[in-house]
Amino acid sequence: MADFIIARAAHILAVLMWIGGVGFVTLVLFPSIRRSTRKEERLAAFHKFEGRFAPQAAVWVLLAGASGLWMTWRADLWSRFGDLQYWWMHAMVVIWLVFAAMLFVIEPLFLHRRLRTSRDPAHLFERMERLHRILLALSLITVLGAVAGSHGWVW
């Protein structure tokens, strides 16, 4: 039982730090850069800050995935994936997969090169900001659904 409590606490901490970080980047960092930096320099400014956040995000995403998998296995919750009432479990996995793919596959193999060689960094900055807003909105919906659903809310 203690292992499940530890896993749940680790999961909540990881999600708090991960999605909280996404919220900070989306709602504070992007707008600050947009207001204080010339269009053609925004992507470079973002890259300075992002380089410090990405390794932290990677740790939190890994911890969220590992603890979520542990709790699902430990409590034998696999059947929930066959029931749409638990849509939030599907959403957690999808959001996790998107961020894991971005952090561990897309960014290192493709995106970093594109960021360095972009002919239109201003447009790329705008696209990244828009993508962050979409991912933050989906993440917050997922968190709200997961908290309500795990506490008995039936949809």
In a domain, 15, yes or no: yes
Quote the pLDDT of residue 116: 76
Pick from 15, 37, 4, 60: which is nearest to 125 by CA? 37
Terminal C-alpha separation, the chain: 28
Range of the domain at 29: 2-150
In a domain, 54, yes or no: yes
Asked whether 96 and 65 are in contact (CB, 8 A), the reply is yes
Quote the pLDDT of residue 48: 86
Per-position pLDDT tens, the chain of length 155: 899 999 999 999 999 999 999 999 999 999 999 999 999 999 989 988 888 888 999 999 999 999 999 999 999 999 999 999 999 999 999 999 999 999 999 988 887 777 778 889 899 999 999 999 999 999 999 999 999 999 888 77
Distance CA 2, CA 14 (A): 18
In a domain, 101, yes or no: yes
Quote the pLDDT of residue 69: 97
Quote the pLDDT of residue 111: 77
Three-state secondary-structure class, residue 119: coil
The total number of structural domains in the chain stands at 1
In a domain, 117, yes or no: yes
Distance CA 11, CA 69 (A): 10
Three-state secondary-structure class, residue 142: helix
What sections of 75-120 are H helices per DSSP? Answer: 87-101, 112-117
In a domain, 155, yes or no: no
Distance CA 22, CA 43 (A): 17
